[in-house]
A and B are shown apart, each in its own frame.
Chain A
Amino acid sequence: MNELYLTARNPMVEPHLHAWGWEIPVYLFLGGWVAGILVLCGWALFKGRRYSAGSASFALASSGLFVLGLATLSAGMLALFLDLEHKTHVWRLYATFQPWSPMSWGAWILVLVYPVLVAGVLLEPPAALLAHVPALGAVTRRLNGDTRRRRAIGVVSMVAGVALGVYTGILLSALGARPLWSSALLGPLFLVSGLSAAAAFAHMVSPDREERETLARFDNLFLMLELAVIVLFLIGLANATAVHAQAAALLLGGPMTAVFWVGVVGLGIVLPLVIQSLAVTHRIAHTPVAPLLVLAGGLALRFVIVAAGQLSHWPRL
């Protein structure tokens, strides 16, 4: 028997760490979603795809998804800002670069991401924006004047998307004091989950029927990959040290098990995978239910991982 009595501890760490509330999971989800948008739209730009039925649609490589990306990322940044305890000092993030801090990397990656999103919008600005700022027309003509320029924006968009998506996971996995997060697989997991969220959303709203079909197939691939990474993540933890196995047990029989397996895996991955598999093989009609489940599942994944990580700890005896 081992028992521990602690006197005069701090509220944020007792009975277990709860430094991060809803803001961080929301930020990680929205950041991952934008990462997925950047990769998918970047891929479409690189492949020379273009939806010609008007600007600001939600087809890939059109400005709609880039506008959505800007709005989503800004909402994510707002969530991150709300989480800060010393808000007036937020500018300090950009007064330095700390190479060993994933959060510092993330702050600077966002500096790269915003211009890429803006460039994506400027490739085909919404008509209302163009009406207000006619000068943008010249920029748009210049960006579109050369196929290589569009392809270059596509490549930069994919690179920025992968960096952003992986960073959202590495942000947690660099915090070795929380054994559940001690896995580099969190980077690929959050990236592929972001790709899945982006593909699901685009599948739901794209005006192009063929593209919707392609995106549903993409999403199925991402969902299967996500499932595989989750299995590898749990195998890695469960077969590492006793501390890590104990952390994995939070999701394998412990207090987070039901919400993880029912909410994240069952409703967020397996069920939409089944629905979309039936839809792409034309046995049922496409439905927004599956993409909405994917989005909710992606958000639930971040909530569960952040909460379970804060429950896990090294033995104190």
Chain B
Amino acid sequence: MARLGMVIDTRRCVGCMDCVVACKTENGTPEGMNRDWITHALAGQYPTLSLTIRSERCNHCENPPCVSCCPTGASHVHDWGGVVLVDEHECIGCKACVASCPYDARYIHPDGYADKCTFCIHRVERGGQPACVSVCPARAMFFGDLDDPNSEVSRLLASRKHHTLQPEAGTRPHVFYLE
């Protein structure tokens, strides 16, 4: 059973927003709404400042609070890859999942259902890569099976120091950031 994950190299990411545009193009995300976004995190005191740029999205958590709080089962873990998805036909738009996500990764589609990143599962199931990964000009984004020790993502995680976002939330994200 595959366990799909994404690795993002914060040393390479320049915040060009190609991933954001590619996602919008691929998924037809409504105007003013986004499945992924760019975060600039500035830390320290002048002149010793450090800047981290991250491409962020749904973390497709192993322990997804959005799935457990969903009253209809619309938010679910996909049979293959552990990807967290929303069945728009089952969603009632109660917004419990929006409130339950520590990463604020969800939004309400103008048609009324909760929406978010799908890891472009429609492309991945055909052997492709998520749109954001496929267009990254800095080659900062990687995607693959975390359970396969020979996959690029597994090798990167084995060889580079990395972290997830808000590990204290206990959600066990599947998106990792190389330091």
Contact = CB atoms under 8 A, between A and B. Distances in A.
Contact of B96 (A13, A175, A310, A313): A175
B89 interface: yes
B45 A317 contact: no
Given A12-B107, A89-B90, A103-B96, A174 B34 contact: no
A3 B42 contact: yes
A101 B169 contact: no
A200 B74 CA distance: 40
Interface string B121-143: 00000000000000000000000
Given A10-B107, A85-B108, A92-B72, A314 B92 contact: no
A86 B94 CA distance: 8
A77 B70 CA distance: 18
A135 interface: no
A104 interface: yes
Interface residues of B, number: 49
Contacts of B65: 175-177
A1 B43 contact: yes
A310 B100 CA distance: 10
A83 interface: yes
Contacts of B17: 7-8
B112 interface: yes
Contacts of A19: 95, 98-99, 108
Interface string A1-45: 111111111111100010110000000000000000000000000
Nearest to A14: B104
A110 B56 CA distance: 39
A262 interface: no
Question: What's the dominant secondary structure at chain A's contact region?
Answer: loop
Interface string B14-48: 01010010000000000011101111111111000
Give the size category of A's interface with B: 35 or more
B145 to A, nearest CB: 27
Contact of A8 (B38, B68, B168): B38
Given A89-B91, A314-B168, A101 B69 contact: yes
A11 B69 contact: no
A316 to B, nearest CB: 7
A273 B117 CA distance: 51
B71 A98 contact: yes
Contact of B104 (A10, A89, A176): A10
Contacts of A96: 72-73
| Most-contacted residue by chain A among B34, B41, B101 (CB, 10 A) | B41
Interface in A295-317: 310, 313-317
A205 interface: no
A286 interface: no
Interface string B77-121: 000000000000111111110111110101110011100000000
A313 B105 CA distance: 13
A175 B64 CA distance: 11
A96 B17 CA distance: 40
A6 B100 contact: no
Contact of A86 (B33, B37, B113, B168): B113
A103 B42 contact: no
A95 interface: yes
Contacts of A174: 68-69, 100
B107 A177 contact: no
Closest 7 CB pairs of A and B: A85-B93, A86-B112, A86-B93, A13-B104, A103-B71, A10-B107, A177-B102
14 contacts: A6-B37, A12-B107, A13-B104, A19-B98, A83-B95, A85-B92, A86-B93, A89-B90, A89-B92, A101-B68, A101-B71, A103-B94, A176-B100, A177-B169
Interface of B: 15, 17, 20, 32-34, 36-45, 65, 68-74, 89-96, 98-102, 104, 106-108, 111-113, 165-166, 168-170
Interface of A: 1-13, 17, 19-20, 83-87, 89-90, 92-93, 95-96, 98, 100-104, 106-107, 174-178, 241, 243, 310, 313-317
Given A4-B40, A89-B113, 7 more contacts: A8-B37, A10-B34, A12-B107, A13-B98, A85-B112, A86-B92, A98-B71
